[in-house]
Amino acid sequence: NTRVVLAERPVNRAPVEGDFRIERVPLADPADGEVLIRNGFLSLDPYMRGRMSAAKSYAEPVQVGGVMPGEAVGQVVASRHPAWRPGDMVLGNTGWQEFGVLPGERITRIDPNLAPASYYLGVLGMPGMTAYCALLYLGEPQPEQTVLVSAASGAVGQVVGQIAKIRGCRVVGIAGSDDKLAYVRDQLGFDAALNYKDRDGGTKEFETLSREVADCCPDGVNVYFDNVGGVVHDAALANIALHGRVIVCGTIAVYNELEKRDIGIRWMRQLLVKRARMEGFLVFDHAHRTEEFRHTMAGWLSEGRVTYKEDVAEGIESAPRAFIGMLAGANRGKQLVRISQD
Ligand code: NDP
């Protein structure tokens, strides 16, 4: 079994490949009540950067020397649990490794006839559910309203924009490269998109960004779906409409600074002036909506109303590099690692 463990915590810096270690260990046998899973696809998600840090958060950090956490889809190869048989396709948090052993209660069945197995890590899984629950239940978008979303072409963002279009909204995306802007506009039907980076690859100044958001959102921003925080958040809040809603879903712009003091909120007075609402979101709080989400999203996928782009790295050894790249915006769509072919 090949696995990836945390070798060193990156403190106030971006992770590098040396922070991870690839290990080869003997295959573990499942104990009573457990199953052995051979992973097909591993999901790489920004939250894993937080788990590498010892800073206080909503979840415990991974220990140095511990297997990097992460969800995967795979096939049961041995079972000592009555509910599971070899061949069953399942989803579970095995971490970054080829094979995982989990208690039978901690895995869920997936239906590869409904959608490709990898979709259960993306549009039909945690990122899709994040987009669905946060947009619809916190954002409450109304037809004709303007929805602005950052990290717009990513795992969560691409779904947010498409659901907002289904709800009859005007959708504006923010992303960090021109091909990402083209993707959301031309393939996903966003109404407008803007690049938050300047020509040198740095983040644009607040004044420039705020003006560009105003140009793309002439009637103001009714819902800002914030995946990034930082100056992009400032520019969105400066343009919030009367009774606007800001969903704080992610703050990836500061994931490499979690050990420092927290960032403040500029333009907070906008919340008062525009009687706007800002609310934090955590997908686990919405677990009771899983069935509703899966059913609705599966329908949209089969009708072609939602499409989904994946970026697949090959082999478990490629996980550290793909993860580092994803945090820096190298991914084109949902970042996955293919671990085995079948
Ligand atoms: P993505 O697929 O969108 O990948 C991350 C993207 O973030 C990169 O591609 C990059 O795109 C963008 N990014 C990186 N650094 C910056 C920066 N400094 N400023 C602006 N954008 C940046 O990831 P996900 O869709 O999986 O996740 C998106 C966000 O949602 C993350 O913050 C994540 O933590 C959060 N999240 C929160 C959940 C919750 O329950 N609260 C659940 C799931 C996700 P670009 O090229 O556009 O810069």
Mean pLDDT to the nearest integer, 231-256: 96
ipTM over 0.90: yes
State the Cα–Cα distance between residues 152 and 160, nearest whole angstrom.
8
Tokens read off for 6:
């945390």
Closest protein CA for atom 9 of ligand 1: 329
Mean pLDDT to the nearest integer, 294-318: 97
Q: Is the pLDDT of residue 107 over 70?
A: yes
Lowest-pLDDT range, 56-60, 114-118, 154-158, 225-229? 56-60
Enumerate residues 6+ apart whose C-beta is below 8 A from 182: none
| Fold of the domain spanning 126-284 | Rossmann fold (3.40.50)
Q: Tell me the best of 124, 232, 252, 293 to mutate to test the pocket of ligand 1, counting ligand atoms within 8 Å of each CB and taking the most.
A: 252
Say yes or no: CB of residue 159 within 6 Å of ligand 1: no
Question: Which tops the pLDDT comparison, 260 or 252?
Answer: 252
CB 281 within 8 Å of CB 287: no
Going by pLDDT thresholds of 50, 70 and 90, the confidence category of residue 259 is confident
Across 284-309, b (16+ Cβ under 10 Å) vs e yields eebeebeeebbebbbebbeeeebebb
Going by pLDDT thresholds of 50, 70 and 90, the confidence category of residue 342 is low
Ligand 1 mean position, distance from CA 89 (Å): 28
Give me the amino acid identity at 37: I
Mean pLDDT to the nearest integer, 98-106: 98
Ligand 1 mean position, distance from CA 228 (Å): 6
Mean pLDDT to the nearest integer, 205-215: 98
DSSP H helices, 167-276, are 178-182, 206-216, 230-238, 269-273
Residue 254 CA, closest ligand 1 atom number: 18
Residue 50 CA, closest ligand 1 atom number: 34
Say yes or no: CB of residue 268 within 6 Å of ligand 1: no
Ligand 1 mean position, distance from CA 230 (Å): 12
Ligand 1 mean position, distance from CA 152 (Å): 9
Ligand 1 mean position, distance from CA 35 (Å): 32
DSSP code, position 285: G
Going by pLDDT thresholds of 50, 70 and 90, the confidence category of residue 265 is confident
Mean pLDDT (the chain) is 96
Question: Which tops the pLDDT comparison, 255 or 79?
Answer: 79
pLDDT at 261: 64
Mean pLDDT to the nearest integer, 61-88: 97
How do the domains of the chain map onto residue ranges? 2-122+309-338, 126-284
Say yes or no: CB of residue 31 within 6 Å of ligand 1: no
Closest protein CA for atom 45 of ligand 1: 176
325, containing H or E segment:
helix 319-327
Say yes or no: CB of residue 173 within 6 Å of ligand 1: no
**Pick from 330, 318, 320: nearest CA to 10:** 320
Q: Is the pLDDT of residue 314 over 90?
A: yes
Q: Is the pLDDT of residue 307 over 80?
A: yes
State the Cα–Cα distance between residues 117 and 213, nearest whole angstrom.
37
Going by pLDDT thresholds of 50, 70 and 90, the confidence category of residue 309 is very high
Give me the amino acid identity at 108: T
| Fold of the domain spanning 2-122+309-338 | Quinone Oxidoreductase; Chain A, domain 1 (3.90.180)
State the Cα–Cα distance between residues 86 and 4, nearest whole angstrom.
25
* H and E: helices and strands count for the chain: 9, 15
State the Cα–Cα distance between residues 235 and 141, nearest whole angstrom.
20
Q: Which residues pair with 223 in a beta bridge?
A: 147, 245
pLDDT tens digits, residue range 142-199? 999 999 999 999 999 999 999 999 999 999 999 999 999 999 999 999 999 999 999 9
CB 104 within 8 Å of CB 9: no
Closest protein CA for atom 31 of ligand 1: 250
